[in-house]
Structure 1
Amino acid sequence: MSDPHASEPEAADHRLEKTVGNRVRHHRLVAGLTASDLAARAGLSPAMISRIESATTSASLTTIHRVARALDVPVASLFRGADAPRAAVVVKAGAGTDSVRAGSRQGHRYASLGNLLSTSGPSLEPVIVTLNADAAEFPLYEHAGIEFLYMLEGAILFRHGDDEHVLEAGDSILLDAETPHGPTAVTAGPARFLSVNPAGA
């Protein structure tokens, strides 16, 4: 007779593997490393890093310790959230938390709408960016992953690599964030847009 609870430990183990895999991938992307880079640092094969990140292997503690050391993070950080309940972040209108970014020195305003580390997929951070009409300096950004931008009001010139786009209210752009990108001018201000990035970018 089969044990109706036999699958519970297996499901819990797989949940742990998915947590470790997603944490490793998150820290690797934040560090700007490829899977091959991390493998070289940890003295492991790229295939092993891929199996860890895809949760298709149960890595030994020794292996996880080597990966954590290569990422320069505590071992415990790779297990964080494994037993935590699923979370949600609600931000009421106008209640985003001001955060300091590269553009803050030029008077650009960034209001974070939450930072939630997922244990089952990419971790994202939505930010409302406000640019004054008289903004004159615009830093460009480069980071791992992809970025999504949706214009809420105003209009900007937005550069991605060698291309420049006019973005007005209602327009959006989805881009490879490893290419230099960012607003280069406010053509109708103030300009506000929602930017969704990998957490920590």
Structure 2
Amino acid sequence: MTLRDLSQQCSLSVSFLSQIERGLSSFSIPSLRAICQALNVSLPDLLVLSDGPGMAFLADPRPPEITKGDNQSYINLSDTSIKYRFLSGGFPGRQFEVLIGEMSPGYHNPPTSHEGEEFGFVLEGRVKFTIGEEPYALGPGDSYHLMATTPHGYEVGDEK
């Protein structure tokens, strides 16, 4: 697949994709989802392993196994202040993924939609979670579960 083909399938410019490929730019979660959809892979199948900003390559999914805390995959998206930790395995054919997203105070993710379901659980801090046009104040122990095709977004409070 050429960059032009990928560009047409994920609605991202050829120059932007080229910058990502060369390590000159990074991508957002919506851009990463679009790339995954165009490549017909799930987000955990496209683990971003980094030796520095923008350095990324495809990693093989892990076989089914117990994942120890010191062997979990991490993704840091350099254009956001989110660190993702994958808790679920990466075996082929899985139906869902479990991860922890650690977000910096004040981080804002505008409402977006994507395929699948989404479940969230607040470990600590405060989050204003919006589903459609309806905002919800969430704190430790609160959770949400929705069809991700419904626009949803969040804003992290001033504390972690």
TM-score (norm: length of structure 2): 0.52
Q: Which residue among 79, 87, 95 is the counterpart of 1:105? A: 79
Alpha-carbon separation, structure 2, partners of 1:136 and 1:99: 14
RMSD: 3.5
Cα distance change on mapping 1:169 and 1:72 into 2, 3 Å = closer
Aligned residues: 108
TM-score (norm: length of structure 1): 0.43
Alpha-carbon separation, structure 1, partners of 2:139 and 2:115: 26
Percentage of pairs with the same residue: 22
Higher helix share: 1
Q: Deviations over 1:90-111 (max 9, x none)?
A: 2249x762421xxx535x2223
Q: Which has the larger radius of gyration?
A: 1
2:87 is equivalent to residue 117 of structure 1: no
Q: Which residue among 102, 107, 110 is the counterpart of 1:139? A: 110
Report the Cα offset of residue 173 of structure 1: 0.6
Cα distance change on mapping 1:85 and 1:175 into 2, 3 Å = closer
Letter in 2 for 1:124: E
Alpha-carbon separation, structure 2, partners of 1:169 and 1:157: 12
2:134 is equivalent to residue 189 of structure 1: no
Runs of 5+ unmatched residues, structure 2: 1-35, 42-59
Q: Find the residue that maps to 1:169 and give its secondary structure.
A: coil
Q: Which residue among 100, 121, 129 is the counterpart of 1:158? A: 129
Cα distance change on mapping 1:119 and 1:72 into 2, 3 Å = closer
Q: Which residue among 165, 169, 189 is the counterpart of 2:140? A: 169
Letter in 2 for 1:129: E
Q: Deviations over 1:128-180 (max 9, x none)?
A: 22231xx2643333221111111111111111112111100110111111122
Q: Find the residue that maps to 2:114 and give its secondary structure.
A: coil
Alpha-carbon separation, structure 2, partners of 1:86 and 1:184: 34
Runs of 5+ unmatched residues, structure 1: 1-29, 33-70, 74-79, 191-201
Alpha-carbon separation, structure 1, partners of 2:115 and 2:159: 29
Alpha-carbon separation, structure 1, partners of 2:156 and 2:103: 12
**Which structure is richer in relative contact order (CA contacts within 8 A, separation 6 or more)?**
1
2:57 is equivalent to residue 86 of structure 1: no
